A and B are shown apart, each in its own frame.
Chain A
Amino acid sequence: MAKFKYFEPADLAEALTLLKNYGEEARGIAGGQSLLILIRQGLIRPQVLISLHRIAVLGEVNFEERNITLGAMATQRRISSDERIRSRLPALAEAASRVGSIHVQNLGTVGGNISHAEPNGDSAPALISLGGSVLASSHRGERTIPLDDFFRGPFENSLEPDEMVTRVRVPLPVDGASSVYVKHVQRAVDRATVSIGVQLRIDAAGVCADARIGVGGAAPSPFRATRAEAVLRGEKISDALIDAVAAEVSSMCDPLPDSHGPAEYKRKMAGVFVKRALRALLAQKRSSI
């Protein structure tokens, strides 16, 4: 494997100073489940690796009045096994439990998963559907980037070279909104062919009060299907409406053909899985009445 300088900063300030000093040459490493593979395969060659595992604050998960804040180093296993996350933000817990195998979930982190910015990562579509934001820090300060504006193409994010993801903030759902994450795979541990996160708020009359849809695997980056959300909002949910939403999602897709399937197939499957997500949420709603 290519050699690099290696640091284990004890606190965030030290990590940010290292990023400032080394800039483009450096990479922060969280769980390493993607980064180490890229290095070994020679796809990237950082001169400096900054391991973030000693920075305790980055591993914290905090419930606040209106938000949950995940430290960037919170592992997928930690997220999927947290009872509060499972009950309040099921799309997030489900996405965390679908990242690779248990082995990957034991080390892989939410901050690493989104920073890696693969087109078909699991965390992003779920977090987009939940209205999540990235908190990015550098020696210059902290800024908030909504997840639906974080990605810039395959394996490209909007961080500056001296910045890193420190936290992910997710608003807690209001007024009975519920969420779901569905993933289309060949084998359980595969990356997604496509995956969909949906958060939906339906009133007593069956009218959609609010909807957010995150789509993964069906474009160069995960994206928010705003046009499809507009089709849902304010309408009574029917089979015809669900078909219209699925058609709108498919029309927004711009998939890259790869070993997971040709572009047309992914476009079609994005629609199919949006329907499944919406039906799952409707079934939950009915059974809870």
Chain B
Amino acid sequence: MPDIECEIRVNGKLCKVEIDPSTLLLDLLRDELGLTGAKRGCETGYCGCCTVLMDGKAIHSCSILAMRAKEHEILSIEGMETDGKLHPIQQAFLELNAAQCGYCSPGMIMSARALLDANPLPTRAEVSRALAGNLCRCTGYLPIIDAVLQAAQRSR
């Protein structure tokens, strides 16, 4: 099948690309748009390091066709800062050393963003639940959860 024109809104910008319909959103972001923040991990919808938001909801960009994301708002880690200022969740990750190798961090931060946008003052259990779909193989979960809770407090 020839490439199809696909208009997709990423981090507030309308992007026009020609893609094969089998292109995954993750591949569109990384290979077509050069946004390499979302990482390729398990590719089975388990590890969460490819997490982006679609209309504010956390999804695995490895488990959705780019065509399906048309006419929706995609937010990736690259769209988190405003006017050169990090988002409070990113700032808290820095301050509390919530990243070790860092591979899971973009996905963790995006899942946390979806949570805090919907539930600005979550309990620790709610944070754990929201991040249950994001694996950290350095197993640094405690500072990650601390960072999300701190970001929530700071944003009050």
Contacts and interface: CB of A to CB of B under 8 A. Distances in A.
Contact of B67 (A8, A77, A106, A107): A8
A44 B43 CA distance: 16
A32 B62 CA distance: 10
Contacts of A37: 43-45, 63
Interface string B113-140: 0100000000000000110111000000
A33 interface: yes
Of A8, A29, A53, A103, chain B has the most CB atoms within 10 Å of the CB of: A103
Contact of A103 (B20, B21, B45, B65): B45
Of B20, B64, B114, chain A has the most CB atoms within 10 Å of the CB of: B64
Contacts of A101: 45-46, 48, 132-134
B60 interface: yes
Interface in A32-51: 32-33, 36-37, 39-41, 49, 51
A53 B59 CA distance: 16
A1 B24 contact: yes
A100 B58 contact: no
Contacts of A29: 65
Interface in B22-70: 22-24, 43-46, 48, 51, 54, 57-60, 63-65, 67-68
B101 interface: no
B58 A32 contact: no
Interface residues of A, number: 29
A39 B68 CA distance: 16
A104 interface: yes
A2 interface: yes
A51 B67 contact: yes
B142 interface: no
Of B67, B68, B129, chain A has the most CB atoms within 10 Å of the CB of: B68
Contacts of A189: 46, 132-133
B64 A5 contact: no
Interface residues of B, number: 30
Nearest to B67: A6
Contacts of B54: 106
A32 B58 CA distance: 15
B90 interface: no
A3 B20 contact: yes
A185 B145 CA distance: 22
Contact of A107 (B44, B48, B63): B63
Interface of A: 1-6, 8, 29, 32-33, 36-37, 39-41, 49, 51, 53, 77, 100-104, 106-107, 187-189
Interface of B: 1, 4, 20-24, 43-46, 48, 51, 54, 57-60, 63-65, 67-68, 111, 114, 129-130, 132-134
8 contacts: A1-B22, A3-B20, A33-B63, A36-B65, A41-B44, A101-B45, A102-B114, A188-B129
Given A6-B22, A49-B21, 12 more contacts: A3-B22, A5-B21, A33-B60, A100-B45, A100-B46, A101-B132, A101-B134, A103-B48, A104-B133, A106-B57, A189-B132, A189-B133
